[in-house]
Amino acid sequence: METRKNQPFLSRLRFASTGVAHALRTEKSLQTQALALLLVFIVLALLRPAALWWALVILASSAVLTAELFNSAIERLADHLHPDLHPEIRLVKDCAAGGVLITSVGAAGVAIALLIALIQGS
């Protein structure tokens, strides 16, 4: 059995990149979030807010993408281990999706705060 523990950094980076690439190819929600992030970067480049706002938006956006990846991993593992419908598996998946929702609401809050700051000129 292959182990991925204690591998060199470049190997672990390759494993992680493979996971992100696979999820981007197969997960519609992650594709949507990644497209939204691209649009956000375009808007930021046009509006040119202070560096702190860039940092906050990048942090919030990366949290959303991370939540999507965790949600996808949990759903995939749950479906693999228990392919039949089961109320407990459904609850696990719902909780993971709830994590994405809460993270997305937080990111939207950052976007709203940025817009208010831009309107007020601060």
How confident is the model over 56-82, as pLDDT tens digits? 999 999 999 999 999 999 999 999 999
DSSP state of 6: T
pLDDT at 2: 67
DSSP state of 27: -
pTM score: 0.87
CATH code: domain 9-120 is: 1.10.287.3610
CB 117 within 8 A of CB 49: yes
pLDDT at 5: 80
Q: Chain-wide mean pLDDT for the chain?
A: 93
Q: Where are the alpha helices (DSSP H) in the chain?
A: 9-26, 28-47, 51-81, 87-120
- One digit per residue, pLDDT tens: the chain, 122 residues? 567 788 899 999 999 999 999 999 999 999 999 999 999 999 999 999 999 999 999 999 999 999 999 999 999 999 999 988 888 999 999 999 999 999 999 999 999 999 999 999 86
Ramachandran bin of 27, using left for φ above 0, alpha for ψ from -120 to 50, beta for the remaining angles = beta
Residue 58 burial (10 A CB sphere; 0-12, 13-18, 19+): middle
Tokens for 49, please give them: 């807010």
Ramachandran bin of 48, using left for φ above 0, alpha for ψ from -120 to 50, beta for the remaining angles = left
